[in-house]
Structure 1
Amino acid sequence: MASQEQLKWEGKLTKQLHGSTQEQIWSFFEDFGNIHKYHPFLDTCYYVEGANAQPGSIRYCGASVGNEGEIKWCKEKLVEINPMEKSMKYEVSDNNFGISSYETSIKVLPSNEEVGGCQIEWSFVGEPVEGFTFEGYFGFLESILQGMVEKMEKELLSSVKST
């Protein structure tokens, strides 16, 4: 974790998945224009530029917040994607979240445990986000990653049951 005084916030989150393969979990991330299907807070996601998870593609992500139905949104540009290494990098290009500079790297790695499965590694670097301390923002990202993992595992479990 980084300190509040740093000009850039940097961090890395990891989450171990025991019952899912690297290929299964990568398929969710590789589907760049459909993050709302497994993101715990997003209501919508669609391409505003480009398509099919090609570098340069830009997705719009939106979420309703509060009782008044306010929409928080961001546009994220896919900087690079490597299906062989199961990794990608994207940056926030525009938003109303208070983010001025933010870049994320996602990697789906083989498990480092004997039980199998895989591991998600989510690294980020950016300027401090309005309305957050570093610790608060890191906790927010942890809750997103936990929610994503739960939705992914549920989806994979239901697809196994339906076959």
Structure 2
Amino acid sequence: MDPIQQTKEKWKGKAKTEVVGCKAEQVWPLLEDFFGLDKWFPTLSTCIPIEGISGKPGCVRFCAGFKTPVDEDGKQSLNWTKQKLLSINPIQRVFTYAIIDGNVGFYSYVSTVKVLPKDDGCEIEWLYEVEPVEGWKLEYLDFFIGNGLDVMGKRIQEAFKTMEDALGA
């Protein structure tokens, strides 16, 4: 395959995590809150609304948090993206968003997040595709999203356990 053709092929990946003891209908509202990702995703310190209403297609969030390696001047940059909600289906518990701007080198990034019921709880599935990212390998992106999703699932699970304990359930 010639190098020009190769650069047009997008990276694609999928990550999944189980949220034990939490039903899909309990977890969905936490993810449906498009402006609340920083409450759950470990490397984000900021997720604020830019435009629109959270959970409505067309709304845009600004996310920032994880840092890049130190550059030649000895400085670290805070990474940021603007993300637009493209579609959402609360009945099927699925939404799709795209990164529309940022300093992380993610071009044509589109992601679909689903909350799927399971016998002992639910599963969060995160599908993504992006043009190859300069300085990264697909395995790095797989690890970043997969690890982040696992931590997110644990945080959600612990939040429900804390709430149940507080209610004496």
Question: Do they superpose with TM above 0.5?
Answer: yes
Give the deviation of 1:68 after TM superposition: 5.4
Larger Rg: 2
| CA RMSD, 1 decimal | 1.8
> Aligned runs of 1:28-47 on 2, under 5 Å?
28-47=30-49
> Aligned runs of 1:40-79 on 2, under 5 Å?
40-63=42-65, 65=67, 70-79=77-86
Give the deviation of 1:64 after TM superposition: 5.1
CA distances 1:120-139 after superposition (whole Å, capped 9, x unpaired): 11111110122210111111
Q: Within 1, Cα distance between the matches of 2:114 and 2:130?
A: 18
Q: Within 2, Cα distance between the matches of 1:64 and 1:126?
A: 19
What corresponds to 2:12 in structure 1? 10
- Pairing partner for 2:141 from 137, 147, 159: 137
Question: Could you list the runs of 5+ residues in structure 1 that have no partner in the other structure?
Answer: none
What corresponds to 2:117 in structure 1? 110
Matched residue count: 157
Give the deviation of 1:70 after TM superposition: 3.1
Give percent identity, aligned residues only: 34
What corresponds to 2:161 in structure 1? 157
- Pairing partner for 2:128 from 120, 124, 130: 124
Between stretches 64-73 and 77-86, larger displacement belongs to 64-73
Q: Within 1, Cα distance between the matches of 2:76 and 2:156?
A: 26
Q: Within 2, Cα distance between the matches of 1:120 and 1:23?
A: 12
- Write the letter of the residue equivalent to 2:130: G
Counterpart contact for 2:132–2:138, Cα < 8 Å: yes
Question: Could you list the runs of 5+ residues in structure 2 that have no partner in the other structure?
Answer: 1-5, 69-73
Secondary structure in 2 matching 1:162? helix
CA distances 1:32-58 after superposition (whole Å, capped 9, x unpaired): 101000010100111101122110000
What corresponds to 2:3 in structure 1? none
* TM-score normalised by the chain length of structure 1: 0.89
Structure 1: which 4+ aligned runs deviate by more than 4 Å? 66-69
* TM-score normalised by the chain length of structure 2: 0.86
